[in-house]
Amino acid sequence: MLDENGMISLLNQKLYKAFWKNAIAAFITLIIVFIMCMVSYIHFLNETESLMIVILCFALFVVVLVVGVISLLPFKKDVKLVKSGKIESITGTVVRYKKIVHGGDPTTYSYLPIIKDIHSNWIEVEIKADNTVLNKIYHCVYLPNTKLGICVEFQSTSDLIQ
């Protein structure tokens, strides 16, 4: 069974991997839209494109830039938490799963466990963690903004952390 420091180390790796994946995707999308804007501007200069198309293209560039920055804000907040050592933890039971629908053809689904704290029945946390089973007890370390987490199942009630 992983100790708390091992779980934090895995969570740190998971955070940076997800951050770079999102940052690279946003950057590539931004480059593609920028190239489209430059091409439409060149066509405008050659008088084969209207000014409205160029304006719309640059508006799209600004929207993609803003969405890219906003999508990275939760990662920025969680990196601060990791650096300050303020990672959240919970010991609880998986009470249900939240279904996430991903677009595409075919439509795909993922399920995020909802964990209810065994010490405080009113606390429930949604965590992006793998390999959880309904009604089993887990100790999880997680980041509240990105909801990334690492969970370890308790094998017996003597393993419970008080």
Across-strand partners of 149?
Answer: 142
Which structural domain range is residue 59 located in? 4-84
- CB-CB neighbours of 74 under 10 Å: 18
**Which of 37, 63, 84 is the last residue in one of the domains?**
84
- Residue pLDDT, tens place only, 39-73: 999 998 988 888 898 899 999 999 999 999 999 99
Residues 80 and 11 both lie in one domain: yes
Counted domains in the chain: 2
Instruction: For residue range 89-137, list pLDDT tens digits in order.
Output: 999 999 999 998 887 778 888 889 999 998 888 889 999 988 899 999 9
Residue 146 in domain: yes
Which residues are CB-neighbours of 95 under 8 A, at least 6 positions away?
114, 115, 116, 124, 134, 135
User: Does the N-terminal peptide bond of residue 106 adopt cis geometry, omega within 30 degrees of 0?
Assistant: yes
